[in-house]
Structure 1
Amino acid sequence: MVTVTQAPDRLATVRARLAPVLEEAAEGVVARERDRRLPHRQVRALLDAGLGRARIPVEFGGDGLAWPEFAALLVELATADSNLPQVFRGHIAYVEDLLASPPTPRRDAWLTRLAAGEFVGNAWSEVGSGALGSTGTRLSRDDRGWRVDGRKFYTTGSIFADWIDATVDRDGETVTALIPTAQDGVRISDDWDGFGQPVTGTGAATFDGARVDDADVADFGARFRFQTAVYQLVLLTVLAGIAAAIERDAGTQLRARSRVYSHGSADRAQDDPQVLQIVGELGSTAFAARAVVAEVARAVQLAADTAADRDSTTHAEAVVAAEFASAQGQVVLTELVPRAATRIFDTLGASGVSVTRALDRHWRNARTVSSHNPWIFKARQLGDHSVNGVVPDFVWSVGVAPLAARSVEGADA
């Protein structure tokens, strides 16, 4: 186990700043999900309270939290509203990429800007019949400089953002472009139609001659090497927060319940030993989820601590450990948390399924988060490593494989 030095006073300060925002976010989450109201005010309040600068070093205006501290905060945020940590996922990864990069005037300036409250969204994925490993979004030059044209989907958080961190094709090479959202060439839609995580701002971003500065175009291959672990860790904090909310809501509903069954085991639902056993199991799931997050966060912290020596054996081993830890956590929590979200209904009876209580959101949200980066492929990679020592390429893509593309062409012909 990796030992990480913590700063409890600093963490307590950040918690105190965020506490009223989390309280307000929790009070309105059911209405926002029911009415599909994007949490613009809550995102801005979180930025004003410093969530976006939590990992940024103090010398740049941040809080300098270590990953175990920051991950614990994200779990608390997800307990209040599971949509909100996912909104910040792209921003968190962009900050981490800056932290892992060698010091430059641009890097230092961006850390200062992000610490001051600017917000970065994400636009990597595309839908449709594009070839596996390719991107249809293009970066090209015209008489005004760089322009971006194309369409991205799953652009979580970008509808709230000042900037979009996008992957684009430049003459057959994948690069990243940091695109300002406040321009005519950028259109962001709230057209995510998933049954869970409905107000994460996960929809399409369309670029039509969007402008990008020279300094904001970078080689994708130079990105920080433990990025998949960071992206997955954020989703694990979401699952852990959902698990905590399930335990919380089970207790709240049971304490308010006056009706019991004639064939039950107590005169009050909150005293029924069979019901209490289930709630104990729900609490144990929440405990296990927090423990998984903490362990993955420690592994990610070691990768971050060694990132300055990018090509060293020590960093390579830390990256592998972080990636596999995040994958193992995903395999476990993908099963445990949706199961807990189903078992809460065993404690309440038919009244628990009332739409006004919205307890179904826990399963819908957990199942949706668990559908990102399918765990079955991660489990197979973990097994291949355990048995055969195989270390996979951790940066993967989605698209139409060459064999499938040939089959489609043959059918069309």
Structure 2
Amino acid sequence: MSSPSSAHLDTALQTRTSRETILGRVPEIAAKIAEGASQRDLDRVLPFEAFRLIRQSGLTTLRIPENLGGPGGTVADLVEALCTLAAADSNVAHALRTHFNFTEALVLSPGTEKAGTYLPKILSGAIFGGASAELGTARPGDITATLLRHGDSYRLNGKKYYATGTAFADYAGFGAVDEEGNLRSVLLPVTREGIHILDDWDGMGQRLTASGGVDLVDVEVFEHEINKQVLDGLVGRHTSTLRQLHLAACCAGVVRNVLSDAQEYVRRQARTTRHSHAEKATDDHFVQQITGEIAASAFAIDALIAESARALDRSAEALTSKATNAEELVLESALTTAKTQVVISKLALKAAENLFEVGGGSTTSRKYNFDRHWRNIRTVLTHNPLLHKARVIGDYYLNETTTHLKEGRVF
């Protein structure tokens, strides 16, 4: 698979673009991305053009504060933009997850060498991807990729999977173990010799997120590309919650798309149900009820997503200002997002299923590709065990247990 080159990075982005300008561009970008989205899914065509538009818009810089040269967008701004993109094509929104996670960590660690190195690159239009996970290990999270010294540098070897968005990225992070068995992370340009990004993701949904493998064959790694800094524990927990909310925002966008498809289908093509006395589908009480249920689900999901984003903004502000209640607010945001995920998982899947009730058998035609909505939602929801998430929430409310709420990572 071809990889982007740093030559395309837009130096014009180094001139600050305002928050208002960037957010104002999102609906227009989304409209362009929506064109042909269903056909891309059917034909399995990766959305490289979408990422060119996103780079040019400045959206990838949104969370960088004004005092660091960015537009100063909030988490709420970002999440709403992601919902809008996901309503156009959930693959595109999902594929930006690693980038915004990485950016958030830098923004909340502004005095570090890493932030000083990579924030300017983001402001120039660079997108970040990467992968740590590997297939075939005894347990999820086990790492077999190696980073071994080779003369004055190192060599990275291994195979990664679930490299979501890396095909569209300029830099990618990978986890590996060194000679002493210590876990290391490296951050490399994707054009580095020996990095082979594979188009082998075969999931039933989110087909175009480039979530497949990366072969790492004797990749040269220099000392300065090895991350020796450990994220502050609270910052790591905050970014973990953002990663979870990012997935929820993808589901929210899909449900918006479900509602839009239901409206368009009923108005243009649907027939009344056999038992209806209405003359056209828009007046059919059965169809009206189903459409109303989809609309109500979309409304509820959007409200929950927005509340979770506000909780993350409070968490980010507390971390930035080193507030004494930062721990409390980081925990609150994790709990809020977890509850949101448990609820919207049911609403989103049901909404995608209900789409087939507005028009009967005709809605299953491949030309409409309506099943992609359910496939995409179901695939996003496989990232984390929802039964475990609900149990952790219950344990907190019954016993005030915070163990898993504080660990981040999978939860």
Q: Distance in 1 between matches of 2:270 and 2:201?
A: 39
Q: 2:313 maps to which residue?
A: 301
Q: 2:241 maps to which residue?
A: 229
Q: 1:286 maps to which residue?
A: 298
Structure 1 residue 69: Cα displacement: 1.2
Q: 1:99 maps to which residue?
A: 107
Structure 1 residue 292: Cα displacement: 1.3
Structure 1 residue 198: Cα displacement: 0.2
**Does the aligned pair in 1 maintain the 2:276–2:285 contact within 8 Å?**
no
Q: Distance in 1 between matches of 2:58 and 2:183?
A: 32
Instruction: Tell me: CA distance 1:309–1:152, structure 2 relative to 1, closer, same or farther (3 Å).
Output: farther
Q: Distance in 1 between matches of 2:274 and 2:81?
A: 43
Q: 1:334 maps to which residue?
A: 345
Instruction: Tell me: CA distance 1:334–1:138, structure 2 relative to 1, closer, same or farther (3 Å).
Output: same
Please tell me the residue identity of whatever aligns with 1:169. V
Instruction: Tell me: CA distance 1:391–1:172, structure 2 relative to 1, closer, same or farther (3 Å).
Output: farther
**Does the aligned pair in 2 maintain the 1:60–1:108 contact within 8 Å?**
no
Q: Distance in 2 between matches of 1:99 and 1:313?
A: 19
Structure 1 residue 262: Cα displacement: 4.2
What number of residue pairs does the alignment pair up?
389
Q: Distance in 2 between matches of 1:383 and 1:220?
A: 35
Structure 1 residue 20: Cα displacement: 2.9
Q: 1:54 maps to which residue?
A: 62
Q: 1:216 maps to which residue?
A: 225
Q: 2:331 maps to which residue?
A: 320
Asked if 1:123 corresponds to 2:126, the answer is: no
Structure 1 residue 85: Cα displacement: 1.0
Partner SS for 1:316: helix
Structure 1 residue 214: Cα displacement: 2.4
Q: 1:411 maps to which residue?
A: none
Q: Distance in 2 between matches of 1:266 and 1:314?
A: 59
Structure 1 residue 232: Cα displacement: 0.6
Please tell me the residue identity of whatever aligns with 2:245. L
Structure 1 residue 174: Cα displacement: 2.4
Q: Distance in 1 between matches of 2:175 and 2:321?
A: 25
Structure 1 residue 243: Cα displacement: 0.8
Partner SS for 1:222: coil
Q: What CA deviation, in whole Å up to 9, does each residue of 1:334-381 have, x standing for no partner?
A: 111011100111111111111101111110001111111111111111
Q: Distance in 1 between matches of 2:410 and 2:75?
A: 26
Structure 1 residue 264: Cα displacement: 1.2
Please tell me the residue identity of whatever aligns with 2:24. A
Q: What CA deviation, in whole Å up to 9, does each residue of 1:224-245 have, x standing for no partner?
A: 3212201111101101101111
Q: Distance in 2 between matches of 1:169 and 1:295?
A: 39
Asked if 1:368 corresponds to 2:376, the answer is: no
Instruction: Tell me: CA distance 1:258–1:321, structure 2 relative to 1, closer, same or farther (3 Å).
Output: closer
Please tell me the residue identity of whatever aligns with 2:239. Q
After TM superposition, the structure 1 stretch with the greater mean CA deviation from structure 2, 90-99 or 158-167, is: 158-167
**Does the aligned pair in 1 maintain the 2:130–2:172 contact within 8 Å?**
yes
Q: Distance in 1 between matches of 2:371 and 2:47?
A: 20
Question: TM-score if structure 2 supplies the norm length?
Answer: 0.89
Asked if 1:395 corresponds to 2:404, the answer is: no
Structure 1 residue 246: Cα displacement: 0.7
Q: Distance in 2 between matches of 1:217 and 1:291?
A: 41
Q: What CA deviation, in whole Å up to 9, does each residue of 1:176-215 have, x standing for no partner?
A: 2112210221111111111000000110011122233323
Asked if 1:276 corresponds to 2:284, the answer is: no
Asked if 1:65 corresponds to 2:73, the answer is: yes
Q: What CA deviation, in whole Å up to 9, does each residue of 1:74-116 have, x standing for no partner?
A: 1001001111111100000000110111414542342121011
Structure 1 residue 12: Cα displacement: 4.1
Please tell me the residue identity of whatever aligns with 1:369. V
Structure 1 residue 275: Cα displacement: 1.1
Q: Distance in 2 between matches of 1:139 and 1:235?
A: 31
Q: 2:27 maps to which residue?
A: 19
**Does the aligned pair in 2 maintain the 1:82–1:242 contact within 8 Å?**
yes
Q: What CA deviation, in whole Å up to 9, does each residue of 1:8-57 have, x standing for no partner?
A: x9554223323332111101101110000001111121111112111112
Please tell me the residue identity of whatever aligns with 2:194. G
Please tell me the residue identity of whatever aligns with 1:348. G
Partner SS for 2:250: helix
**Does the aligned pair in 1 maintain the 2:63–2:70 contact within 8 Å?**
yes
**Does the aligned pair in 2 maintain the 1:130–1:136 contact within 8 Å?**
no
Q: CA RMSD in A?
A: 2.1
Q: How does 1:183-194 map to 2 (within 5 A)?
A: 183-194=192-203
Structure 1 residue 169: Cα displacement: 2.1
Partner SS for 2:319: coil
**Does the aligned pair in 2 maintain the 1:180–1:212 contact within 8 Å?**
no
Match of 2:261 among 249, 260, 276: 249
Structure 1 residue 132: Cα displacement: 5.3
Q: What CA deviation, in whole Å up to 9, does each residue of 1:320-344 have, x standing for no partner?
A: 1121222111111111101110011
Please tell me the residue identity of whatever aligns with 1:192. W
Q: 2:168 maps to which residue?
A: 160
- Give structure 1 stretches of 5+ with no counterpart: 1-8, 399-413
Asked if 1:380 corresponds to 2:391, the answer is: yes
Please tell me the residue identity of whatever aligns with 1:296. S
**Does the aligned pair in 2 maintain the 1:147–1:210 contact within 8 Å?**
yes
**Does the aligned pair in 1 maintain the 2:266–2:359 contact within 8 Å?**
yes
Instruction: Tell me: CA distance 1:86–1:261, structure 2 relative to 1, closer, same or farther (3 Å).
Output: closer
- Give structure 2 stretches of 5+ with no counterpart: 1-16
Q: Distance in 2 between matches of 1:261 and 1:336?
A: 24
Q: Distance in 2 between matches of 1:230 and 1:374?
A: 17
Asked if 1:207 corresponds to 2:238, the answer is: no
**Does the aligned pair in 2 maintain the 1:76–1:241 contact within 8 Å?**
yes
Q: Distance in 2 between matches of 1:338 and 1:146?
A: 46
Structure 1 residue 397: Cα displacement: 6.0
Question: TM-score if structure 1 supplies the norm length?
Answer: 0.89
Partner SS for 2:374: helix
Q: 2:13 maps to which residue?
A: none
